[in-house]
Amino acid sequence: MTRRVYMDHSAGMPVDPRVLEAMMPYFNQKFGNPSSLHSWGNEARKAMEDARAKIVALVGAKKSEEMFFTSGGTESNNLAIKGVAYRHKDRGNHIVTTVIEHMSVMNPCKALLKEGFDVTYVPVDKYGVVDLPSLEKALTDKTILVSVMYANGEIGTIQQIREIGNLVHHRGALLHVDAVAAAGQVPINVEDENIDLMSISSNDMYGPRGVGALYVKTGTRIQPIIQGGGQERGLRSGTENIPAVVGIGKAAELTKAEMKTEGERLSRLRNKLIKGVLESIPSSFLNGHPTQRLPNNANVRFSYIEGESLILSLDMLGVACSSGSACTSKTLEPSHVLLAIGLKHEEAHGSLLFTLGRQNTEEDVDYVVKALPDIVKRLRAISPLTPKELLS
């Protein structure tokens, strides 16, 4: 039996057993609807508000009323962007975002562009750090919203959110932060960091899929996208998914309690992985920022070979990871993030993304560092692009 090493946590995380345990009673024992007035309803409502308080605590929000449950990161991003755009369109029609955002920010912005909004995409440097002077220059009197991710899930780079918030507020606009990749991994404080709206996903912190949250600072007005029975104080209708809500609450509680020790452990493993790979494989490079990066993110690229064949080769040895190669995407385009940091198409194709998690050990890292050089060597031997001196 080969070893099985899962290093694709940005694609999907296992639900923590403690989270699963907390959720279980809410499927068939405490199954009430929180809108009901009887004891079943009260039980569900209490569970929901407990969960809300835990997410509020995770991100340093002031009040429970500032946190809204959604179906996940994608919905939170859609709600924040469209909700602000529609609500504030009489004040202005300009949205500012960056070239490295997730598709669930990119595509709502694209849709708004078609509806008559203007969108400016701020560039990043070679490490994926948003260029603050460009961002400042992009802001106009018409700017109503700026949407910047807290950290990039692909290259791991963490942004200077507090500074961005200062610039944005100086011009009277709102700051939305997509914290799907960052929440639970690094400490975030919405108050200190000038954040008006923030998207959070459950599965990215070992909670169940299909649930997320949107932080909306008190006083920030936003229009609902999904209308119905008026749940979540009218911002997000639909009967609440209590087991999932309990799950994200428990996940937030655990991740807050363990963030420091787990973050340090993962950073150590990540550094060992990056160092091991770069030292043992010629013409290999790190993508993203060398230090300002998520503790679990190692994105490396290898010249002259392509990522999908790397993934297949690693999979044969029981290792799971992702790539920014076009060959692994649904659109056959290489990752827009890797292109935005200035990589050529062929460089982006040769990128591998390892995202570590709670179950990964030092032995897992050793296993990958040992396996990868032979895989790269074999694929380089097959590739017509490999220079002769690398083949010996």
Partner 1 sequence: MYTEKVMEHFRNPRNMGDIPNADGVGTVGNPVCGDLMTIYIKVNDNRIEDIKFKTFGCGAAIATSSMITELARGKTLEEALKISRGDVADSLGGLPPIKMHCSNLAADGLHAAIQDYLKKKEAKK
Closest separation between CB of residue 301 and partner 1, Å?
13
Task: At 235, list the tokens.
Answer: 């911002």
Distance of alpha carbon 230 from alpha carbon 36, whole angstroms: 14
Closest separation between CB of residue 317 and partner 1, Å?
11
Contact map string, positions 301 to 320, toward partner 1, x by CB under 8 A: ---xxx-xx--x---x----
Restricted to residues 321-340, the positions that interact with partner 1 (CB under 8 A) are 325-328, 330, 332, 334
User: Closer to partner 1 at the Cβ: 46 or 345?
Assistant: 345
Count the site residues for partner 1 by CB under 8 A. 23
Among 107, 377, 383, 390, interactor with partner 1 by CB under 8 A: 383
User: Closer to partner 1 at the Cβ: 262 or 306?
Assistant: 306
CB atoms within 10 A of CB 191: 11
Contact map string, positions 341 to 380, toward partner 1, x by CB under 8 A: ---xxx--x-------------------------------
User: Closer to partner 1 at the Cβ: 40 or 304?
Assistant: 304
Catalytic residue among 113, 312, 327, 391: 327
Beta bridge partners of 284: 302
Task: At 282, list the tokens.
Answer: 């010629």
Closest separation between CB of residue 327 and partner 1, Å?
4
Instruction: Assign 3-state DSSP to the chain and report helix, strand, coil percentages, each to 5.
Output: 45, 15, 40
Residue with tokens 């920030």: 220
**Cβ–Cβ < 8 Å for 146, 135:** yes
Distance of alpha carbon 309 from alpha carbon 338, whole angstroms: 18
String of DSSP letters for 200-214:
EESGGGT--SS-EEE
Task: At 340, list the tokens.
Answer: 């935005």
**Signed CA dihedral, 277, 100, 170, 215: sign only:** negative
CA-atom Rg of the chain in angstroms: 22
Select from 6-14, 38-46, 179-187, 298-306 the region that touches partner 1 (CB under 8 A). 298-306
Query: What's the N-to-C CA distance of the chain in angstroms?
Result: 32
For residue 384, state whether it binds partner 1 (rule: CB under 8 A): yes
- Is 321 a residue of the active site? no
User: Closer to partner 1 at the Cβ: 133 or 384?
Assistant: 384
Spatial CA neighbour of 181 closest among 162, 207, 154, 161: 154
Closest separation between CB of residue 351 and partner 1, Å?
11
Closest separation between CB of residue 51 and partner 1, Å?
37
Closest separation between CB of residue 308 and partner 1, Å?
4
Would you please indicate which residues are annotated as catalytic (active-site) residues? 327
Q: For binding to partner 1 (CB under 8 A), which residues are involved?
A: 304-306, 308-309, 312, 316, 325-328, 330, 332, 334, 344-346, 349, 381-385
